[in-house]
Amino acid sequence: MAVVSKANIVREDLLRVEGVTKIFDGAVKAVDNVSLTVASGEIFALLGGSGCGKSTLLRMLAGFETPTKGRIFLAGEDITDLPPYKRPINMMFQSYALFPHLNVWDNIAFGLRRDGLPNDQIAEQVEKMLGLVQLAKYAKRKPHQLSGGQQQRVALARSLAKRPKLLLLDEPLAALDKKLRETTQLELANIIEEVGVTCVLVTHDQEEAMTMASRIAVMSEGHFLQVGAPDEVYEMPNSRQVADFIGNVNIFDGVIDEDKADHVTVRSADCLHYVGHGISGHSGMNVGVALRPEKILLTKDQPASAYNWCEGEVTEIVYFGAHTTYHLKLASGKVIKAQALNNTRDLSYGLTWGDTAYAYWNERAMVVLTQ
């Protein structure tokens, strides 16, 4: 999506988190010495499975939890000890937390009223927000009289109404069904872009993180595994964990044969890899070679090249409609997955169960994982 390019634009830091740790009950380290900076205008995603600490980190930003160690700065000001109601930060809650006893209008006006603004200014801002999320004609409805997608937009309007310096999104799309999620995702991204607010987004859904965020932090067990733009994290994972968590991946265990400035070769049980870029390693080192299924091509004829192919037996063909995934059992017993786009109506390779097939790939398709 369009937002990807924004990562390159240099802006001043809005949020700075320095060495934050949160320990619950004196024992459980929910967040472990995390530091990060978010630039003004950025959409930053915290991505990870349940219990990885992403929600705790978000709740510390909102002020619902106090860090055990470390400081949090917003626009240069230390906000670590500020209670939630004193922070210029607003949150869009998971499953929205709309006040059931107030109608849409009053829900959006709720935060503005706490600031003691005059009524006409409140009205003006609420109308503006209603226009932004296109719910002007639903202003008098109670939350239960709205559909899930409408509720989500009210929640967004409510959290944007006070013009926060930082917007926190807690699993913004988790409560919607799959079909609605795609369109809502686009809408949400567009509104945020239009307002230009800086965002920290928490999600367990990698697609959501990739499409919405300009940068992603992959979290596990309380710390960051990798921080980078979506394409970086996907194409250049820095560890097996990240490669495994984001998307599907085949990992060949091997040993570095040849370590040159412009390429390396890695010998694994089933094939010899020629990687078309240098890495920081040395020959004889144990590494993993990560290869995404969509980067593998299949053929019935043995490739002529000395590198980057292997032979196997087709054990499974899984048809997904838009693409098909083939499982190939290699000589060592290892099973790899190859994905083929179904770009014609008959399946591309003409392979069937039990066939012998050859998998091959480009020298720029692989990532060498040294961790």
Partner 1 sequence: MNKVSSTLRKFIKGRYLVIGIPYVWLLMLALVPLLIVLKISLSEMESTSVSSMMDWTHGWPTVKLNFASYIFVATDALYYQTYISSLKYAVMTTVICMAIGYPFAYFMARSPKHIQPTLLMLIMLPFWTSFLLRIYAWKTLLVDNGVINNILMSLGVIHEPIAMMNTPFSLMIGMVYSYLPFMILPLYANLSKLDMRYLEAAADLGASPFKVFWLITVPLSKAGIVAGSMLVFIPAVGEYVIPELLGGPDTLMIGRVLWDEFFSNNDWPMASAVAVVMILLIMLPMAIYNKYQSEQMAVKV
Partner 2 sequence: MNQTLSPKTIKWFSLGWMVAVYAFLYMPIVTLVIFSFNDSPLVTVWSHASFRWYKALMQDSDLISAVWLSLKIAFFSAIISVLFGTFTAFALNRYKRFNGRTLLSSMASMPLVMPDVIVGLSLLLMLVSLQHWLGYPDRGLFTILLGHALLGTAYATVVVTSRLREMDNKLDEAAMDLGCQPFQVFRLVTLPLLIPALVSAFLLTFTLSFDDVVLSSFLSGPGYSTMPMMIFSRARLGLNPTINAVATVTIIVVTIAVIASSFYTSYLERKRKREVAQAYSDSNN
Question: Which of 62, 82, 97, 195 is in the footprint of partner 1 by CB under 8 A?
Answer: 82
111 binds partner 2 per the rule CB under 8 A? yes
Residue 82: name its binding partner from partner 2, partner 1, none (Cβ under 5 to 8 Å by kind): partner 1
Tell the smallest beta-carbon distance from residue 54 to partner 1 (Å): 23
Sequence-ordered list of residues with C-beta below 8 angstroms from that of 37, at least 6 positions apart, any chain: 13, 15, 16, 17
Measured from the CB atom, the residue of 97 and 347 that comes closer to partner 2 is 97
183 binds partner 2 per the rule CB under 8 A? no
CB 72 within 8 A of CB 153: no
Residue 81: name its binding partner from partner 2, partner 1, none (Cβ under 5 to 8 Å by kind): partner 1
Question: Which of 121, 147, 190, 305 is in the footprint of partner 2 by CB under 8 A?
Answer: 147
Binding segment (CB under 8 A) for partner 2, from list 16-24, 61-69, 250-258, 298-306: 61-69
Tell the smallest beta-carbon distance from residue 37 to partner 2 (Å): 23
> How far is CA 342 from its chain centroid?
27
136 binds partner 2 per the rule CB under 8 A? no
Tell the smallest beta-carbon distance from residue 93 to partner 1 (Å): 21
73 binds partner 2 per the rule CB under 8 A? no
Map the chain to HEC letters: CHHHHHHHCCCCEEEEEEEEEEEECCCEEEEEEEEEEEECCCEEEEECCCCCCHHHHHHHHHCCCCCCEEEEEECCEECCCCCHHHCCEEEEECCECCCCCCCHHHHHHHHHHHCCCCHHHHHHHHHHHHHHCCCHHHCCCCHHHCCHHHHHHHHHHHHHCCCCCEEEEECCCCCCCHHHHHHHHHHHHHHHHHHCCEEEEEECCHHHHHHHCCEEEEEECCEEEEEECHHHHHHCCCCHHHHHHCCCCEEEEEEEEEECCCCEEEEECCCEEEECCCCCCCCCCEEEEEECHHHCEEECCCCCCCCCEEEEEEEEEEECCCEEEEEEEECCCCEEEEEEECCCCCCCCCCCCCCEEEEECCCCCEEEECC
140 binds partner 1 per the rule CB under 8 A? no
Say how many Å lie between the first and final Cα of the chain, rounded: 30
Tell the smallest beta-carbon distance from residue 81 to partner 1 (Å): 6
134 binds partner 2 per the rule CB under 8 A? no
187 binds partner 2 per the rule CB under 8 A? no
CA gap 371, 368 in Å, rounded? 9
CB 356 within 8 A of CB 313: yes
101 binds partner 2 per the rule CB under 8 A? yes
Tell the smallest beta-carbon distance from residue 83 to partner 1 (Å): 6
Residue 260: name its binding partner from partner 1, partner 2, none (Cβ under 5 to 8 Å by kind): none
Binding segment (CB under 8 A) for partner 1, from list 7-15, 79-87, 238-246, 262-270: 79-87
Measured from the CB atom, the residue of 54 and 162 that comes closer to partner 2 is 162
Tell the smallest beta-carbon distance from residue 19 to partner 1 (Å): 14
Q: What is the pairing mode between strands 286-291 and 323-330?
A: unpaired
Question: Which of 9, 24, 99, 278 is in the footprint of partner 2 by CB under 8 A?
Answer: 99
Site for partner 1 in 224-283 (CB under 8 A): none
Size of the site for partner 1 (CB under 8 A): 5
Residue 247: name its binding partner from partner 1, partner 2, none (Cβ under 5 to 8 Å by kind): none
86 binds partner 1 per the rule CB under 8 A? yes
Contact residues: partner 1, CB under 8 A: 81-83, 85-86
Contact residues: partner 2, CB under 8 A: 62-64, 83-85, 89-91, 93-95, 97-101, 110-111, 114-115, 141-142, 144-147, 149-150, 158-159, 162
